[in-house]
Amino acid sequence: MSRPDISQVIEQGLAKYRERMEGAVLGAPVSQRVATPEAIRQFAQGLGDLNPLWCDPDYAAATEWGGLLAPPAFLNAVCEGQAILGLPGLIAFFVGARWEWNGVMRAGDSFTVDNELLPLADKTKPGQPVRVFQQGVLRYRNQRGEVAGSCRWDMMRSQVKLGGGKKKEPSGQTAPAVLQREPYSPEKLAEIYQAIRAEKPRGREERFWQDVAVGDVVDPVIKGPLSLSDMVAWSTGIAWHRAALAHGPKLMHLLDNPGLAYIDPASGAPEPIAMSHMDPDGARILMGSPLPMDVGFQRVAWFTHPVTNWMGDAGRLLSLEVRLSGFVRFGDIAWLGGKVASKERLDGRAVVNLDLQCTNQRGEEVAAGTAQVALPESAAQPV
């Protein structure tokens, strides 16, 4: 019996998705159900954000919160801020997300998650391979049944690998003749180390809404040079289910679910698709990239770091929306920062709107976003 043509597989998959999955609310895989102090610390380490409000119980107990908080992006450790569902024959590429938070998350909170699938949008151009825009909304409910946060994830599904390599890079990016890891001189590394040492959270020093002016700078933080150890720390910090199995259980799972695997050309054995972010062969096979890259929802989480540093312990991150526009590969450095775009009063809160940007070591923008932060107007006013 002959195998079906890939165009038939794609067409049938699109029809099935539109008929059975659009509008459906599904359960989502949960990794860290409870925000224990240990799970919070592990996540903060993988994010590269050791704010004492997340990591130091004694410090956190002396703040207005009275104990450890989980960083806003911790919900990625509960369930990754994306979904790869259905649509066989179409490669999944994460392109952005919008997060909203409805309160702080404390050590000891527990969560359940559901995933509402939104209608597909056909982005195929005449005569070009199929491209479909896929979205959903993850809702994270705490032990009281409250929606602690939500994530609208945005995925481009395509027949074409979008990872670059010898193909055309995203608009504005410089494509080296042969992509390889960026080398840094001792002098350049000294500059990077100095900049990292200058990073610090505002902490107990309150930032009042009335003292903020349009154009104020959100000091940058640095991620990278991106390496395998960074990706292992992130994977560990989110207890990533896509890379959680080893040895026999891993192999049996991949044999039963071949769509979640690729074949390692060196061993001939299956490996999980998550390895495309850690292994050069996986990156080449699955994404068309000669070097592994960060994970899209990981880069979105990076944006929370400069924002929480800037707002201090008394501030609250209300929302974050990020669009990816380029690649962060092994060896790349990402600088994340921004500025105050506007101020307003919203639903009884004093709110600051931030414009955010992520640029690499060549000065190319690889992501941009916006955030809303609630700030106090006095020491006695909670946010």
- Provide the pLDDT for residue 259: 81
Per the model's pLDDT, the better-predicted residue between 288 and 44 turns out to be 44
Q: Cβ(14)–Cβ(86) under 8 Å? A: no
Separation of alpha carbons 148 and 132, rounded Å: 30
Segment 33-41 shows an average pLDDT of 98
Asked whether residue 308 is domain-assigned, the answer is: no
- Total H helices, total E strands in the chain: 11, 15
Instruction: Output the pTM of the full model.
Output: 0.93
Query: Which residues touch 67 (CB under 8 Å, ≥6 apart)?
Result: 57, 60, 61, 106, 107
Asked whether residue 312 is domain-assigned, the answer is: no
Residue 166 pLDDT greater than 60, yes or no: no
Asked whether residue 238 is domain-assigned, the answer is: no
Asked whether residue 305 is domain-assigned, the answer is: no
Residue 1 pLDDT greater than 50, yes or no: no
- Provide the pLDDT for residue 378: 83
**Pairing label, strands 261-263, 270-272:** antiparallel
Query: Quick one: 184 and 81 in the same domain?
Result: no
Separation of alpha carbons 26 and 138, rounded Å: 9
**Domain, as residue range, for 218:** 177-226+319-378
Query: Quick one: 361 and 279 in the same domain?
Result: no
Q: Cβ(88)–Cβ(259) under 8 Å? A: yes
- Provide the pLDDT for residue 178: 61
Per the model's pLDDT, the better-predicted residue between 281 and 171 turns out to be 281
Query: Quick one: 216 and 271 in the same domain?
Result: no
Asked whether residue 103 is domain-assigned, the answer is: yes
Separation of alpha carbons 243 and 235, rounded Å: 7
Integer CA distances (angstroms), 195 to 42, 222, 261, in order: 24, 8, 39
In the numeric block, which tokens belong to residue 75?
């919900």
Query: Quick one: 24 and 87 in the same domain?
Result: yes
Where does a domain end: 111, 128, 162? 162
Query: Quick one: 20 and 143 in the same domain?
Result: yes
- Provide the pLDDT for residue 5: 82
Query: Quick one: 34 and 96 in the same domain?
Result: yes
Query: Quick one: 157 and 181 in the same domain?
Result: no
Residue 209 pLDDT greater than 70, yes or no: yes
- Provide the pLDDT for residue 205: 96
- Average pLDDT of the chain, as a whole number: 93
Asked whether residue 169 is domain-assigned, the answer is: no
Asked whether residue 271 is domain-assigned, the answer is: yes
Quote the number of domains for the chain.
Answer: 3
- How would residue 380 be classed by pLDDT, with cut points 50, 70 and 90? low
- Provide the pLDDT for residue 26: 97
Q: What are phi and psi of 361, to 5 degrees?
A: -70, -15
CATH of the domain at 41: 3.10.129.10
Query: Quick one: 121 and 87 in the same domain?
Result: yes
pLDDT over 90 for what percent of the chain? 87
Residue 222 pLDDT greater than 90, yes or no: yes
Query: Quick one: 147 and 43 in the same domain?
Result: yes
- How would residue 162 be classed by pLDDT, with cut points 50, 70 and 90? low
Query: Quick one: 197 and 254 in the same domain?
Result: no
Separation of alpha carbons 140 and 247, rounded Å: 32
Query: Quick one: 212 and 276 in the same domain?
Result: no
pLDDT over 70 for what percent of the chain? 93
Query: Quick one: 129 and 48 in the same domain?
Result: yes
Q: What are phi and psi of 340, to 5 degrees?
A: -75, 125
